[in-house]
Chains A and B, each alone.
Chain A
Amino acid sequence: MTMINIAKDFSRTPGGRHIKDGKYSGEEFRKKLLEPLFADRTERTKIVVILDGVEGYPTSFLEEAFGQLARIVGKEVCLVRFEFVSEEEPLLKEEITQYIETSDEE
């Protein structure tokens, strides 16, 4: 099992969608922390993502990080491997799952 604590391992202030939008973007998060975990496509170990401790998540950050990842590696593998933890904002789990599930609709 791999654990990612966004506030500790990335930033307490997640930014916008693309790297060109500024620091701590969803694209930067995906490339630095998420994509390396999916280098081996047969890997199925759980990735626990702790969402608490940040100032707030803009939709574009979440969609770019998780929605775009699902478009790259496949939504099924994302749904199987990710487990989201949020005490502060429980709705985030549904929100991110929704981005992964609808990633192939765009």
Chain B
Amino acid sequence: MKNSRVMPLILAFAAGVLCTTMCLLIKMNVGIAAGDFWKFQLRDLFSVLAQILIAISVVYYVNRIIANDVKRREIILNIIEALEDELAAAYSCYIQYTNAPQPQTYWDFMKILKRASRSLTLTLEVGKTTKCDPLVCSANDIKGAFLDMKESWTENIYPEKKTLYAEGYSEAGREKYDILKKKLIECKLAFCK
């Protein structure tokens, strides 16, 4: 939150506290030399002012928190969705390679997977810096699921491989991919609560 945006909140709150103090001082007859009627009027005036100012500062503060939180959630959700898209592209390339292993498809797949890995790291870093609880709490889970998936996808594959995969190989890859997707969806749902 920038200082210029916080200043009205601090001023309103400080004025509210000052009015409350004045109100209490009048009530306790401290330092006030006016007659009873004016004391009564002043006390009421300060009391009303204090309530209005404190209410304004509280409403303003709550609004700022809600606005920041909504914005933060939107940013994080967008990042996770972009990551999901990259993983989907990597999976599609992986399937393409398992169906027809060719060096070019292999390198395309490796490049997309590398990009997805970088995106995942950035997503988790954003989660850490913004202290987004769902991302920070599940960072290790998500990392673990990604590494499992990568292992399943790239274990025993190499550019020159010309033969098709053994039956069930891509099923294992799909399974690991689904686990990672599930973890990302859980993370998104945690944001939407």
Contact = CB atoms under 8 A, between A and B. Distances in A.
11 contacts: A16-B161, A17-B158, A22-B158, A22-B159, A22-B161, A23-B160, A56-B111, A58-B157, A60-B156, A89-B118, A89-B121
A60 B114 contact: no
Given A21-B160, A56-B113, 12 more contacts: A16-B157, A16-B159, A16-B160, A55-B107, A55-B114, A56-B114, A59-B155, A60-B157, A60-B158, A89-B117, A94-B143, A98-B147
Is the contact region of chain B dominated by helix, strand, or loop, or is it mixed? helix
Interface residues of B, number: 23
Contacts of A91: 117, 120-121, 143, 146-147
B175 interface: no
Q: How large is the interface on A (under 10, 10 to 19, 20 to 34, 35 or more residues)?
A: 20 to 34
Interface of A: 13, 15-17, 21-23, 25, 55-60, 63, 88-92, 94-95, 98
B66 to A, nearest CB: 34
Contacts of B113: 56
B49 interface: no
Q: Which 5 A-B pairs have the closest CB atoms?
A: A16-B158, A56-B110, A22-B160, A58-B154, A59-B154
